[in-house]
Amino acid sequence: MKLRISSIFFLAGYLMNIFVALIIIGSLISMTQLTFNIANTSGSFSPTAIQFNATIEINNGGYYEIEDALVAIRVSNATHYVLAEENQSLGTIPLGYSTHNISLSVSLSKFFESSTYILNDSPMYMAFAISGKYALSLMSFYIEKEDSFTWDAPLDGLIYSISVTDYNSTHKEITVDYSFNSPGYEYGLNTTLIAMKDSSIVGKNTTLQLVPQNTAVSDSVSVVVSDSGTITLEIIFNGYIFEISFEEEVVV
């Protein structure tokens, strides 16, 4: 008995459909037997990064290994604009129970591109996601959990005032008093006051302090000038990876 070519293709297609259907059914059953747990979590802020450490416990009770497994952390602002993102590969997750230690450091450099996150505590979101492929890489999954937190701005609530006093009979002292609420980490802060007249520097002074964590900080920086008239001031706050400046005019 001879089979027609069309019959062979039909039979092959029929068997392929059965094969795909079995894979899909097996995949769906596998997903119901796949559980995750995040344990031993710890995190910390520094002037340059958010550090996140955890142990992921995975119970893969299905029929397939998980391939190209990936964990990721994404930090976004109140409008869900992504400010930082980092991921770590878990490789292949075998059948059964396994644990995987992760350590992710999310850079804060993008936060300081906007003065908003330098000067104001702000609501943020941190999303933790796990993704991977299974069933001979024919199927994929993505699981995400998002939590909110408050961003600690390094100069939260910054205010300053300017005063001019007699230094002696020929010079004036210009003082900038400032205050702010410090974040939950220590950092070094350089505060610079530059006095200019007609685009020339007539006075400059920089102070350095170690800003303690969670403290109402008050300090000042001063310059002494001999010139009179209108003086342009530039006030610069520089701390590790952020810098912000303000310009004011005073008459001496």
Kindly report, residue by residue over 129-176, the tens digit of the pLDDT: 888 887 677 778 888 888 888 888 999 999 999 999 999 989 999 999
Residue 16 has pLDDT above 80, yes or no: no
pLDDT digits 0-9 by tens, 37-48: 777 777 777 767
What predicted TM-score, i.e. pTM, was given to this entire model?
0.73
pLDDT digits 0-9 by tens, 56-88: 888 887 777 888 988 888 888 888 888 888 888
Q: What does pLDDT average to over the chain?
A: 83
Core vs surface per residue 217-247: b (16+ CB within 10 A) or e: beeebbbebebeeebebebbbbbeebebeee
Contact 143/130 with Cβ under 8 angstroms?
Answer: yes
pLDDT digits 0-9 by tens, 85-100: 888 898 888 888 888 8
Which is more confident, 194 or 239?
194
Residue found by looking up tokens 């609420």 in the block? 181
Nearest CA-CA partner of 173 in 138, 220, 136: 220
Domain with CATH 2.60.40.10 in the chain: 5-151, 156-251
Residue 32 has pLDDT above 70, yes or no: no
CA–CA separation, 28 vs 76, rounded Å? 32
Confidence of residue 21 (pLDDT cuts 50, 70, 90): low
CATH 2.60.40.10 holds for 156-251: yes
Nearest CA-CA partner of 143 in 71, 201, 200, 206: 71
* Residue 228 neighbours by CB under 8 Å, 6+ apart: 172, 252
CA–CA separation, 72 vs 137, rounded Å? 20
Would you tell me which CATH number, out of the four given (1.10.3720.10, 3.40.190.10, 2.60.40.10, 3.40.50.720), belongs to the domain 5-151? 2.60.40.10
207-210-212-218 Cα dihedral, nearest 10 degrees? -10
192-197-198-200 Cα dihedral, nearest 10 degrees? -50
